[in-house]
């Protein structure tokens, strides 16, 4: 999946403003130092299952990583494209059910089944995108949420036995049925981590590509973007498709790892937790979903025996972050990081190679790259 | 369809429509004035149910006290919700994401209230004594409980009262003025800093009263507000955000759809059918029945 | 001149990142009609908005009847006796003309006498009385302006700010509006009026200030400025 080099692809009517000859850097925020730190963190994360012997902790981590894939997909449509899509969990569940049903009733490779989950997710998302095109903000949220409720009811009340109703699908094989319990947990961990890393990189690149700029333009200044020839319709459908594919993959991973899926995977409570994760982390940023999901997974796990207190604390957290830290923890971190590096740059006058580049970037390091 | 079915549908429509209207009209009032979709309205219903339970069952007092107490408690809670989750954000009122942000903060308040109730009172469903017990057989086996009748009457009276308050009184007119032109209203001397919390308190108090009745029909429990919230959301958006008449029409329209679906296909499918209808309505009329793109409010 | 009714000193105000008013001084005596002339986009409306508290001044002082009201919220200044007829009238579009007028009497002290004031406005503007039950959005431009002026009369004021009363109106309607303003002046009202040019203000203005890029660049009695060829040439307004 190459997001960027597609620029040569002939499109029907490329808007003039988008046709600029300037090559957009895929990762303008990434300095060599940051790449090094990021790679080290990924390597560290990949090493965890090698030293972690606690099976419960590992299973929590796998679940969190799969949830993170879902949250990354949701962040793309909710944060980057700014579409109030509250049907994402239904798309995720459809992907899961699609993959699960294929694993259950056919003999094709479970990997293909997971991929099929992604395709189901894409189709469902595109289908959902069309009716939202004419809607505005809150109306979109109701329509997409209505979609989710209808899907959930259809799954619960399915008379044909395909979905298994409230109880969900019977046991499916999953990706690593031949491995031992401990080995398969590790394998799932690495698989989910790989998907997280790949999707973060791809979506970050997409975010800085023409598509991403167009999406943010449509989000922040719809009239202006439309006047510059950016079709809100086309870009919204693409955003839904990309995000739906990833959500479907997340659903496929979920059904493989849990060897089942039931309607409780969607619904109001998981949705509120996911929204909280995204908002606390920082909607629309690349690192936000990662920070929010991991942080809240830790909070949730440590409060697991007090269900009331858990959500109360999440609620307070959410309130405080939205009121006092409008751009989430990722935004907060970025601001402090900028202040620290500005301070370091002041101190270190003789900075070379990386120095001048970074120093030049600091004053105009605006957090929201508007089209205007 | 037999005649009993038709009578049954009519009765259910009036009852459901009145409850939906009472909860939804508060949301419309808030949206029209503050431009936010208040997700904490469902919790106000829940709090109202628990206050009803506390006064009627635990303390054994009479229903009028229960309604007054629910009104007072949820009014205060609504004012506090505004001060905590909305007022600090009012300076970002013109930002493109204001609706989204307040949607989330009021949702956070709902989360907090629901789960505080869960910690303090436990997950059990509490039986709330109906405000009035008994019922009347109005037509060949169509039973109308007095509780439902009282609820419909009180709801309609409260909605009418709100209408009169907005049309005739000094503060009611001020609420409409703020909804239509904030700066001009301030130039008239309307203290918006007081008016916003007052509006949210008032709307929450209506939901709280609805809660006392709903608690008598169903139960008082921490999630008692979830379904009323969803239904109210459907109603306000179906009717067109910020349109009070639209909300009232939509409340009864939704009541009718649900009552008909219950008779024709049973209770299980009535909610998905309702959502299906909403999907269609929004595809055909993107701003609901009486909604307008943005300017016209209250 | 004793204590001025309105005194503005060193005022700076604007929006997010653009300072529009850059250090402005102004004094308006009781019963005086002061007119601010200036081209579009040079801060006339912003000045009025800063005085009435719709936007918060960044620096400087606003004194109303000798009392420092700098930084007060608009509703408090309004209750304190300042009436501002904003650009575009600021009518409540979905409310009837009568409701619009009643809103003018919102402060508690004037609410009691609202019926009497209402009758007074209807008597003064029969056109408004004829439209009493119509919604604000259904009125013509001239009617709207008269309703806005009538609304300004619903409570006692110490000073009135009127923003471009001729804006967007047909000549006949402008004449009606200015007749009404002349009556206000005759009844002893203190008025700060903003206009783009000299066309309509003859016979009304006691003092005229020319506002350019956020400061006052010329001041004087109407007759003096209106006969200054340099100024007249810039602010064309056929005389």
Q: Which tens digit of pLDDT belongs to each residue from C46-74?
A: 999 999 999 999 999 999 998 999 999 99
B1 inside 8 A of chain C by CB: no
Q: What is the CATH number of the domain that holds C226?
A: 3.40.50.300
The shortest CB-CB distance from B272 to any of A134, A153, A326 is to A153
Residues C148 and C98 both lie in one domain = yes
Nearest CA to C53 out of B95, B193, B98 is that of B193
Say what the pLDDT of residue C42 is.
Answer: 86
Number of Cα atoms under 13 Å in the Cβ half of residue B258:
22
Say what the pLDDT of residue C114 is.
Answer: 92
CA-based nearest distance C168→chain B, Å:
19
The count of domains in chain B is 1
Is there a domain that residue B296 lies in?
no
C17 inside 8 A of chain B by CB: no
Say what the pLDDT of residue C16 is.
Answer: 76
B10 inside 8 A of chain C by CB: no
Q: Look up residue A128 and give its two tokens.
A: 């959902």
Is there a domain that residue B114 lies in?
yes
Q: Please state the rounded mean pLDDT for residues B168-192.
A: 94
CA-based nearest distance C175→chain B, Å:
25
Is there a domain that residue B294 lies in?
no
Q: Would you give the DSSP letter of residue B190?
A: -
Q: Contact, A75 vs A288, CB < 8 A? A: yes
Contact A326 B100 (CB under 8 A): no
Is there a domain that residue A314 lies in?
no
Confidence check: pLDDT of C237 > 70: no
Q: What element of type H or E holds A315? A: helix A307-324
| Structural domain containing residue B46 | 3-284
Confidence check: pLDDT of A2 > 80: no
CA-based nearest distance B59→chain A, Å:
26
The count of domains in chain C is 2
| Structural domain containing residue C218 | 1-81+157-239
Q: Contact, A210 vs A24, CB < 8 A? A: yes
The count of domains in chain A is 1
What chain B residue is nearest to C55 in terms of C-alpha separation?
B183
Is there a domain that residue A58 lies in?
yes
Contact C75 B174 (CB under 8 A): no
Domain boundary (C137, C156, C175) is at: C156
Residues C6 and C56 both lie in one domain = yes
Contact B107 A272 (CB under 8 A): yes
Q: Please state the rounded mean pLDDT for residues C131-148.
A: 93
**A144, A146, A281, A325: which to substitute to probe chain B, counting the most B Cβ within 10 Å?**
A146
Is there a domain that residue A148 lies in?
yes
CA-based nearest distance C51→chain B, Å:
11
Residues C122 and C230 both lie in one domain = no
How many beta carbons lie within 10 A of that of residue C67, not counting itself? 10
The shortest CB-CB distance from B116 to any of A268, A279, A312 is to A312
Strands C159-163 vs C82-85: parallel, antiparallel or unpaired:
parallel
Q: Enumerate the residues of chain C whose CB falls inside 8 A of the CB of residue B182.
A: none
What chain C residue is nearest to B296 in terms of C-alpha separation?
C94
C91 inside 8 A of chain B by CB: yes
Which residue in this structure is represented by tokens 């109308």? B144
Task: Compute, in degrees rounded to 10, the torsion defined by CA atoms C33, C37, C43, C49.
Answer: 20
Q: Please state the rounded mean pLDDT for residues B240-248.
A: 87
Distance CA B212, CA B222 (A): 14
Which residue in this structure is represented by tokens 């044909």? A160
Strands C33-37 vs C207-212: parallel, antiparallel or unpaired:
parallel
The shortest CB-CB distance from B183 to any of C90, C102, C104 is to C90
Q: Contact, A319 vs B109, CB < 8 A? A: yes
Say what the pLDDT of residue B205 is.
Answer: 96
Q: Would you give the DSSP letter of residue A265?
A: G
Touching A: B residues 194-253, CB under 8 Å: 222, 226, 230, 233-234, 237, 241
CA angle C81, C86, C90 (to 5 degrees): 105
CA angle A223, A227, A229 (to 5 degrees): 120
Q: Please state the rounded mean pLDDT for residues C30-47.
A: 90
Residues C128 and C204 both lie in one domain = no
CA angle B215, B219, B220 (to 5 degrees): 75
A274 inside 8 A of chain B by CB: no
Is there a domain that residue A316 lies in?
no
* Window from A68-82, A182-196, A345-359, B227-241 with minimum mean pLDDT: A345-359
Confidence check: pLDDT of A203 > 50: yes
Say what the pLDDT of residue A1 is.
Answer: 39
Report in angstroms the alpha-carbon separations of B10 from B25, B138, C236. Answer: 21, 12, 71
Q: What is the CATH number of the domain that holds B198?
A: 1.10.3470
Give the pLDDT confidence of C210-232 residue by residue, as tens digits: 998 888 988 988 888 888 887 77
Residues C62 and C166 both lie in one domain = yes
SS (H, E, C) A59-71: HHHHHHHHHHHHH
Q: Please state the rounded mean pLDDT for residues C98-108.
A: 94
Distance CA C29, CA C108 (A): 27
Residues C54 and C172 both lie in one domain = yes
Contact C94 B173 (CB under 8 A): no
The shortest CB-CB distance from C75 to any of B170, B189, B298 is to B189
Distance CA A253, CA C40 (A): 62
Is there a domain that residue A4 lies in?
no
The shortest CB-CB distance from B187 to any of C52, C94, C99 is to C52
How many beta carbons lie within 10 A of that of residue A238, not counting itself? 17
Confidence check: pLDDT of A30 > 80: no
Which residue in this structure is represented by tokens 């439209």? C131
Distance CA A225, CA A232 (A): 8
Say what the pLDDT of residue A187 is.
Answer: 92
Say what the pLDDT of residue B293 is.
Answer: 55
Give the pLDDT confidence of B217-241 residue by residue, as tens digits: 888 999 888 888 888 888 888 888 8
Distance CA C166, CA C173 (A): 8
Say what the pLDDT of residue C97 is.
Answer: 96
Residues C16 and C2 both lie in one domain = yes
A308 inside 8 A of chain B by CB: yes
Which residue in this structure is represented by tokens 């949830």? A67
Q: What element of type H or E holds B196? A: helix B192-217
ipTM score of complex? 0.92
C87 inside 8 A of chain B by CB: no
Give the pLDDT confidence of A65-114 residue by residue, as tens digits: 999 999 999 999 988 888 889 999 999 999 999 999 999 888 889 999 99
Is there a domain that residue B297 lies in?
no
What chain C residue is nearest to B298 in terms of C-alpha separation?
C94
Distance CA A126, CA A236 (A): 9
Strands C191-195 vs C159-163: parallel, antiparallel or unpaired:
parallel
Contact B177 C94 (CB under 8 A): no
Which residue in this structure is represented by tokens 């000299």? C198
CA-based nearest distance B138→chain A, Å:
34
Task: Compute, in degrees rounded to 10, the torsion defined by CA atoms B40, B42, B47, B50.
Answer: -160
A268 inside 8 A of chain B by CB: yes
Residues C55 and C45 both lie in one domain = yes
The shortest CB-CB distance from A309 to any of B103, B109, B119 is to B119
CA-based nearest distance B207→chain A, Å:
20
Contact B112 A316 (CB under 8 A): yes
Q: Which residues lie closer than 8 Å to A56 by C-beta, 6 or more apart?
A: none
pLDDT category of residue A134 using cuts at 50, 70 and 90: confident
Residues C7 and C51 both lie in one domain = yes
CA-atom Rg of chain B in angstroms = 19
The shortest CB-CB distance from B177 to any of C53, C74, C95 is to C95
The shortest CB-CB distance from C78 to any of B189, B296, B298 is to B189
Contact A323 B111 (CB under 8 A): no
B95 inside 8 A of chain C by CB: no
| DSSP-assigned states of every residue in C46-77 | HHHHHHHTSS--SEEEEEETTEE-TT--HHHH
Domain boundary (C109, C127, C156) is at: C156
| Structural domain containing residue A209 | 49-266
The number of C-beta contacts closer than 8 angstroms across A and B is 121
Q: Please state the rounded mean pLDDT for residues C146-173.
A: 92
Domain boundary (C131, C156, C181) is at: C156
Q: Enumerate the residues of chain C whose CB falls inside 8 A of the CB of residue B297.
A: 94
* Window from A31-35, A40-44, A141-145, A342-346 with minimum mean pLDDT: A342-346
B122 inside 8 A of chain C by CB: no
Is there a domain that residue B195 lies in?
yes
**Contacts of B among chains (3+ CB pairs under 8 A):** A, C
Touching A: B residues 66-95, CB under 8 Å: 84-85, 88-89, 92
Say what the pLDDT of residue A175 is.
Answer: 85
The shortest CB-CB distance from B170 to any of C53, C83, C106 is to C106
Contact A150 B114 (CB under 8 A): no
Distance CA C10, CA C54 (A): 18
Residues C161 and C74 both lie in one domain = yes
Q: Contact, C45 vs C87, CB < 8 A? A: yes
Is there a domain that residue B38 lies in?
yes
Residues C169 and C105 both lie in one domain = no
Residues C123 and C239 both lie in one domain = no
């Amino acid at each position: 999946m190459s997001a960027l080099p597609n620029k040569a692809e002939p499109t029907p009517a490329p808007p003039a403003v988008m046709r600029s000859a300037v090559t957009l850097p895929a990762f303008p925020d990434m300095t060599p130092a940051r790449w090094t730190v990021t790679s080290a963190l990924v390597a560290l994360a990949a090493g965890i299952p090698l030293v972690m012997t606690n099976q419960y902790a590992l299973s929590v981590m796998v679940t969190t990583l799969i949830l993170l894939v879902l949250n990354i997909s949701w962040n793309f449509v909710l944060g980057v494209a700014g579409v109030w899509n509250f049907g994402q969990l239904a798309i995720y569940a459809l992907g899961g059910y699609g993959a699960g049903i294929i694993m259950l009733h056919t003999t094709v490779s479970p990997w293909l089944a997971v991929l099929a989950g992604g395709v189901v997710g894409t189709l469902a998302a595109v289908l959902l995108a069309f009716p939202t095109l004419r809607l505005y903000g809150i109306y979109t949220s109701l329509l997409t949420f209505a979609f989710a409720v209808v899907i959930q009811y259809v799954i619960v009340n399915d008379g044909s036995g395909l979905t298994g109703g409230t109880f969900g699908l019977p046991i499916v094989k999953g990706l690593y049925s031949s491995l031992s319990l401990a080995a398969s947990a590790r394998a799932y961990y690495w698989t989910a981590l790989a998907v997280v890393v790949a999707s973060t990189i791809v979506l970050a690149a997409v975010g800085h590509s023409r598509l991403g700029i167009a999406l943010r333009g449509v989000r922040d200044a719809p009239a202006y973007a439309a006047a510059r020839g950016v079709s809100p319709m086309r870009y919204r459908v693409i955003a839904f498709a990309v995000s739906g594919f990833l959500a479907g993959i997340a659903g496929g991973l979920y059904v493989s790892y849990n060897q089942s899926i039931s309607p409780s995977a969607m619904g109001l409570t998981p949705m509120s937790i996911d929204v909280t994760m995204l908002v606390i982390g920082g909607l629309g940023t690349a690192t936000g979903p990662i920070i929010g999901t991991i942080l809240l997974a830790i909070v949730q796990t440590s409060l697991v025996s007090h269900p009331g207190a858990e959500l109360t604390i999440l609620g307070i957290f959410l309130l405080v972050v939205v009121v006092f830290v409008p751009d989430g923890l990722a935004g907060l971190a970025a601001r402090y990081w900028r202040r620290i590096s500005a301070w370091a740059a002041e101190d270190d006058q003789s900075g070379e190679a990386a120095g001048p580049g970074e120093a030049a970037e600091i004053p105009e390091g605006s957090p929201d790259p508007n089209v205007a | 369809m037999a005649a009993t079915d038709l009578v049954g549908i009519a009765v259910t429509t009036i009852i459901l429509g009145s409850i939906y209207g009472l909860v939804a009209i508060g949301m419309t009032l808030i949206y029209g004035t503050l431009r936010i979709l208040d997700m904490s309205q469902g919790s106000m219903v829940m709090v109202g149910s628990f206050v009803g339970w506390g006064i009627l069952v635990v303390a054994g007092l009479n229903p009028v006290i229960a309604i007054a107490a629910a009104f007072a408690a949820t009014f205060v809670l609504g004012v506090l919700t505004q001060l905590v989750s909305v007022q600090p954000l009012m300076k970002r009122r013109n930002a493109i994401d204001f609706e989204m942000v307040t949607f989330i903060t009021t949702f956070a308040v709902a989360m907090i209230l629901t789960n505080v109730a869960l910690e303090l009172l436990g997950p059990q469903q509490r039986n709330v004594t109906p405000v009035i017990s008994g019922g009347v057989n109005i037509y060949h086996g169509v039973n109308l409980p007095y509780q439902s009748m009282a609820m419909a009457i009180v709801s309609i009276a409260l909605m009418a009262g709100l209408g009169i308050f907005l049309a005739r009184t000094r503060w009611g007119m001020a609420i409409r003025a703020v909804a239509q032109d904030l700066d001009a209203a301030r130039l008239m001397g309307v203290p918006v800093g007081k008016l916003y919390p007052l509006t949210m308190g008032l709307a929450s108090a209506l939901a709280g009263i609805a809660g006392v009745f709903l608690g008598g029909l169903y139960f008082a429990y921490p999630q008692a507000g979830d379904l009323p919230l969803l239904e109210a959301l459907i109603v306000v958006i179906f009717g067109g955000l910020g349109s009070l008449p639209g909300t009232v029409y939509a409340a009864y329209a939704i009541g009718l759809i649900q009552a008909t679906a219950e008779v024709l296909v049973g209770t299980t499918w009535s909610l998905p059918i309702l959502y299906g209808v909403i999907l269609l309505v929004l595809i055909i009329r993107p701003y609901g029945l009486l909604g307008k793109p943005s300017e016209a409010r209250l | 001149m004793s204590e001025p009714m309105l005194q503005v000193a060193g005022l700076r105000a604007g929006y997010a990142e653009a300072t529009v008013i850059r250090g402005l001084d102004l004094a308006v005596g009781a019963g005086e009609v002061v007119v601010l002339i200036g081209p579009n986009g040079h801060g006339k409306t912003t000045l009025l908005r800063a005085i009435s508290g719709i936007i918060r001044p960044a620096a400087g002082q606003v004194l109303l009847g000798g009392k420092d009201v700098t930084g007060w919220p608009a509703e408090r200044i309004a209750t304190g006796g300042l009436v501002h007829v904003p650009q575009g009238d600021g009518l409540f579009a979905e409310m009837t003309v009568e409701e619009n007028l009643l809103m003018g009497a919102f402060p508690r002290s004037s609410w009691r006498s609202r019926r009497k004031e209402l009758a007074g406005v209807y008597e003064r503007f029969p056109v408004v009385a004829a439209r009493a039950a119509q919604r604000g959005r259904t009125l013509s431009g001239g009617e709207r302006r008269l309703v806005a002026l009538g609304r300004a009369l619903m409570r006692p004021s110490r000073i009135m700010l009127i923003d471009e009363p001729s804006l967007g109106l047909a000549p006949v309607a402008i004449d009606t509006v200015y007749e009404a303003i002349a009556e206000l002046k005759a009844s002893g009202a203190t008025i700060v009026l903003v206009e783009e040019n000299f066309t309509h203000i003859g016979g009304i203005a006691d003092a005229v200030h020319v506002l350019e890029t956020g400061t006052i660049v010329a001041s004087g009695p109407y007759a003096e400025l209106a006969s200054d060829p340099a100024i007249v040439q810039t602010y064309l307004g056929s005389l």
